[in-house]
Structure 1
Amino acid sequence: MALLDIRNLVVEFDTAAGPFRAVDGVSLQVDPREVLAIVGESGSGKSVSMLAVMGLLPWTAKVSAERMVFDGRDMMAMSAGERRRIIGKEIAMIFQEPIASLNPCFTVGFQIEEVLRFHLGLDKKSRRDRAVELLTQVGIPDPAARLNAFPHQMSGGQCQRVMIAMALACNPKLLIADEPTTALDVTIQKQILDLLMQLQAEHGMALIMITHNMGVVAETADRVIVQYKGRKMEEADVLSLFENPQSNYTRALLSALPENATGDRLPTIAGLMEDFTPAPSAGEGARP
């Protein structure tokens, strides 16, 4: 049985020009221990889809779905309090701007310990010991001293490691990583990706990797969902997607990779939304 099963997710925002549909009928499933990549250009609805699952969209957003079930529980039928008991404990998310995601007014130790206090009810010493253990696990040097540091006293890569530590604090069943390497230089990007994959294997959790980087997809994922303008264009295992893409948008996306450049010009995707059609099975909830 799928750990997370979403059918026909729709997210709309009210704007001055009328309702704007940011996510338009997306369906997905992820199994325990599986790595699912959601790929697409900026504005394709990748992050909004997962923020809807987390319940972190503003109150002005209208979220609907035929089905949103996590570990056998209907998330659409949950109260706000019931969902809060799951979010951060059984489903955790790493955001793409680590420095902006951490509270600048509190030490990193306080922010990690707050997760442990709220979800696990640990006492002060147990929280401290667990926080040191988590920072050690994600490769922060001198972790006991670093608990007293504020986010601005740490590098971007260290802040991202702190975010990963917070996400792993309660041993979640599902980890959502929203472009976790975007704000980092290339060397640190590789370290963070390697760390995520190592921790995913060690903890046996499912991982949803949101990215626009096809190289990250090829390196990390078991299956891939391609999104464009709020719609799912294609879903396939990694090898099938790269070797035999079914959607004309996926083919255009792969052809626009820098390694396919000829001469001095990078490949681009021509055309409008209407020019791209989903693969035949993309709108279905079942897997390819």
Structure 2
Amino acid sequence: MADNGHLLEIENLTVEFDTAGGVLRAVNGVSLHVDQREVLAIVGESGSGKSVSMLAVMGLLPWTARVTADAMRFQGRDILNLSPSERRRIVGKDIAMIFQEPIASLNPCFTVGYQIDETLKMHTNLNSRQRRERTVELFEAVGLPNAGDRLNAYPHQMSGGQCQRVMIAMAIACNPKLLIADEPTTALDVTIQKQILDLLVSIQEEKGMGMIMITHDMGVVAETADRVIVQYKGRKMEEADVLSLFENPKSNYTRALLSALPENATGDRLPTVSDFNFEEAPAEGAQ
């Protein structure tokens, strides 16, 4: 893959793990790119390799994982072969990730204010007063009420939605160029889900970031994405702009996902993906 000026570009990413039953290939030759100001959705059921692909980008997989790719570039820079210290200077600052379990992702032993302060201390030259002001500013930006009072709160003292807002504040603290949101609304009720999605999209548009939205929810894809990649068993089955994907899906697996939406029910029984034959090669152009 030539350097085409994409914010992030990956060619032929493979991730393998050794298991008791043999080698598990969690990601199998996936290629993708995302540009500035673009939202790329990666969709598929659990176990399709969506999160593993992005954890490979972040360098957060266990050392036992085998990660290979023909190319993995961020702003034209090879990030796959960076030293750990060089990668840490990028991850958390220029590339940030929001994880799917907000309460589990925050350290229960430290206040939420302290945890954002640590991010700012690592990646900026702000002094302690400036970091405190910046943290309050971030809490206000993500819609946390009484932002100044929240600095000394522990994660268990906050709701799931509030913890997710803290995670978003932490992710955008250093104005990243790429934001990866991994199932950011999974653990939240429906009302809070809509608020969090609207918040993420508004921040992405305001900051001009590229964003990768990992989800299994086709409704989230329709609301947020410019382009969509559909994954199944670690392979990319289809890639299209969001309108084309919904109007003219090329892959049987994509058709299965769309047919399983409640609004597409046509009889007494809602179809499931198991009703379809999608043990197929990826759709033409998917790679």
Matched, 1:13 2:17: yes
Q: Shift in Å at residue 265 of structure 1?
A: 2.1
**Equivalent residue of 2:163, what SS?**
helix
Matched with 1:24 is 28
Matched with 1:275 is 279
Q: Shift in Å at residue 277 of structure 1?
A: 2.5
Matching residue's letter, 1:21: R
Matched, 1:51 2:55: yes
Counterparts of 1:176 and 1:232 in 2: how far apart (Å)? 18
Per-residue CA deviations over 1:207-252 (Å, capped at 9, x if unaligned) read 1000000001001000000000000000000000001111111112
Matching residue's letter, 1:125: R
Judged with a 3 Å threshold, the aligned counterparts in structure 2 of structure 1 residues 94 and 157 are, in CA distance, closer, same or farther, namely: same
Counterparts of 1:274 and 1:40 in 2: how far apart (Å)? 13
**Equivalent residue of 1:112, what SS?**
helix
Matched with 1:240 is 244
- Are 1:12 and 1:20, in contact at CA under 8 Å, matched by a contact in 2? yes
The one of 191, 198, 221 aligned to 1:187? 191
**Equivalent residue of 1:275, what SS?**
coil
Q: Shift in Å at residue 254 of structure 1?
A: 1.0
Q: Shift in Å at residue 271 of structure 1?
A: 6.2
Unaligned runs of 5+ in 2: none
- Are 1:138 and 1:165, in contact at CA under 8 Å, matched by a contact in 2? yes
Matching residue's letter, 1:166: M
Matching residue's letter, 1:275: E
The one of 90, 107, 110 aligned to 1:106? 110
The one of 119, 129, 132 aligned to 1:128? 132
Matching residue's letter, 1:4: L
CA RMSD, Structure 1 to Structure 2 (Å): 1.2
Per-residue CA deviations over 1:182-226 (Å, capped at 9, x if unaligned) read 000000000000000110011110010000000010010000000
Per-residue CA deviations over 1:53-77 (Å, capped at 9, x if unaligned) read 0000011100000000001110122
- Are 2:252 and 2:278, in contact at CA under 8 Å, matched by a contact in 1? no
Counterparts of 2:107 and 2:276 in 1: how far apart (Å)? 40
**Equivalent residue of 1:117, what SS?**
helix
- Are 1:249 and 1:277, in contact at CA under 8 Å, matched by a contact in 2? no
Please give the TM-score of this superposition, normalised by the length of structure 2: 0.96
- Are 1:248 and 1:277, in contact at CA under 8 Å, matched by a contact in 2? no
- Are 1:9 and 1:66, in contact at CA under 8 Å, matched by a contact in 2? yes
Q: Shift in Å at residue 31 of structure 1?
A: 0.5
Q: Shift in Å at residue 259 of structure 1?
A: 1.7
Matched with 2:120 is 116
Counterparts of 1:100 and 1:147 in 2: how far apart (Å)? 18
Counterparts of 2:18 and 2:131 in 1: how far apart (Å)? 42
Matched with 2:7 is 3
**Equivalent residue of 1:77, what SS?**
coil
Q: Percent identity?
A: 76
Matching residue's letter, 2:126: L
Number of residue pairs aligned between Structure 1 and Structure 2: 283
Matched with 1:286 is none
Q: For residues 249-288 of structure 1, what are the structure 2 equivalents within 5 Å? A: 249-270=253-274, 275-283=279-287
Counterparts of 1:59 and 1:31 in 2: how far apart (Å)? 29
Q: Shift in Å at residue 272 of structure 1?
A: 8.5
Matched with 1:156 is 160
Matching residue's letter, 1:137: A
Q: Shift in Å at residue 264 of structure 1?
A: 3.8
Unaligned runs of 5+ in 1: 284-288
The one of 200, 207, 210 aligned to 2:204? 200
Please give the TM-score of this superposition, normalised by the length of structure 1: 0.96
Matched with 2:214 is 210
**Equivalent residue of 1:252, what SS?**
helix
Counterparts of 1:193 and 1:181 in 2: how far apart (Å)? 8
Counterparts of 2:140 and 2:275 in 1: how far apart (Å)? 49
- Are 1:7 and 1:66, in contact at CA under 8 Å, matched by a contact in 2? yes
Q: Where do 4+ consecutive residues of structure 1 move more than 3 Å?
A: 271-274
Moved more, 81-90 or 121-130: 121-130
The one of 168, 175, 178 aligned to 2:179? 175
- Are 2:95 and 2:177, in contact at CA under 8 Å, matched by a contact in 1? yes
**Equivalent residue of 2:250, what SS?**
coil
Matched with 2:38 is 34
Judged with a 3 Å threshold, the aligned counterparts in structure 2 of structure 1 residues 144 and 213 are, in CA distance, closer, same or farther, namely: same
**Equivalent residue of 2:273, what SS?**
coil
